[in-house]
Structure 1
């Protein structure tokens, strides 16, 4: 068998020794101790003629089988296991068959004539990163960014959620992921916590305002919107016209929650005063699209506001700030265009500072709001990216026909439908009454041409 990232020499001998030492007792049936029963030869630990490193792509405890994929060649094969099969963690400790999951990278020995699994160990040569959010996966470039580390996406990667095999576009920025790989390559991605959907009811008062869901979603409220939100319990904060409200939601994976916010109204809006200190002093400040004089404290309604700071010869800053206190201070130092910032300073690449105690939100690389930072001396900006204009070009969604289509949470109509092409990452959600909603993450290029997508039919609810 072929190698792919770790040495397999002496695997058979090591597994055989482990079997002798442990007796394969944990989680095993005990009938394997008898070599002969009424003239029939019974399988025993150590009986194998092949060894390999593979990815688990199927677990059937009822049938007593595992399905594996041999990386690089994408060859899949199924092996049976029984009381003579031994299972180990990566340290050689005995485990049960039920502790082996889809996406695990394992070292196996097996007996080809009977297609019987002899030993399975979670590969000592593989690494696992659990509980990761905000990871960036670039399918075209085959790059995975996890925190500050970059990995290559193996050509033969697999993606799983609740035992179901997925495509990369099925993943969402809301998901919490686990990665497994060898060396600098990612071979498997498993969704630990997925996403569901949030629809607002009786929300007319908040049109044009803002909604925050947990620490991952910040978006302007529009009519008939459907938001992709994290699985689990989240706090929902809403604000508009100086009025704020808070609710709590429980979201199940792939299911929709309807939240009635008709009771969140107030007679008198609340205001706070924000003092802006901006360098250079001749910079222009725009709040919610309006040029604002910052030579004196600025009175602002409670809630989220867009802030843009521009000055010739400097990078433009686009940030979002939440006003929720009677007074706050924001200090911003613009970065000269093209100037590199010392990585050892307390600022990010933008070099912009915010006074601790104020809350500032910033767009991700797609320009969308995806999270919040309670600032402690650092914030970020969008910079000045060189992009090709896609004005006049469209993205076409040809199917499935007759479903509601939402782009980045905003309702755009029924499929088939076209919408204006904007380069970057977008979430497309499809919904139809009586069917399970489905979202896809698409990467729209900046080429001057139309593009088209056709997605699978939605699945009827059970």
Structure 2
């Protein structure tokens, strides 16, 4: 009887167990549902995002609560009021969001960063709440593109077109251009700058100058002017006065050369700075020079030294060595000769010669005036032209040529001076040639005798050419 009773009890328990188990599961499910925080159940208008964070080597999962996401340019971080200014690349407007210790900051690979690691001009994905502008998450955007250390770029500031190699992009007045943490204008960019360029789609929003430019100037470099400057491997330039060289920041070996003269200095150039190089220790060897005085007869001739016309009223400074001298005066033979300058000062006398054909054109007329004022004319045919052969100088007696004044007076082709002029009497028949710039050359014959008197001659006025 006892065994039958036990068996009946066991069968009753087995029949009720599923009911008890079902009630227990229901209670667990209800308890779990009630544990879900408010605002995160079904029907919530907010987006739920799970992100992993590492703390002491353990992964933690935090639920981030936000309702707005933008791509923006990081323009300002204000640590006094914990705010960040972003430029929304789609709406083209600034927005200020607030951060706190709970704000998550990632690089594009979702590696944790601190705020100080973000640079102004960075393109970021920003997640925030619109009601209080609280920044939940800030991540370097992986939706944008960038060119690092671009040197093959160009900019059209009129049409707002930026080219990188063969690719062209647009930009507008909101573009962020930074040199370190200083904002610049597009016009401030220099072709020597290395740039990191960031954009979205076909538009550029941010430019960081990764390597800027500076300038190199020179002093005490006069001996190099006209030569060539070598600026490292960056540039080869002609050397000019007041030269300014713009190059990328860095260190350069700067070499100036002019003929056999060469000098090298090191320039360590920082961004937006100038380096002044003094080249005074490099000098050409001193060149010896001479002061050369020229006496040229007749007056009015032009003097050329090495094919350069010179004024010879004062001594001319010439370097030691050979120089080509040339003297020109109408009505005279052109003088050309090499002069050698080999002393500190030198005096050179050049007398131009009358062409032989001018001497042969003598009209056979002699006009003279003796001491009693009488004029005499003598006509000589070609057969009996006067000759000074055999004549000799008479002591104490002179020949005076008084007129025309200012004319160069030649006796038998030898310059005697400018009229009025006197010179020793030589007996015999002679040619007197008169030459004056702008006038016709004229030749006369005279006869000088040993008569114990000085001879005076007044010739007719010269005819203008």
Under a length normalisation based on structure 1, what TM-score does the superposition of the two structures give? 0.47
Structure number, greater radius of gyration: 2
Q: Which structure ranks higher in relative contact order (CA pairs < 8 Å, sequence separation ≥ 6)?
A: 1
Greater share of residues in strand: 2
Structure with the higher fraction of residues in helix conformation: 2
The TM-score with structure 2 as length reference comes to 0.46
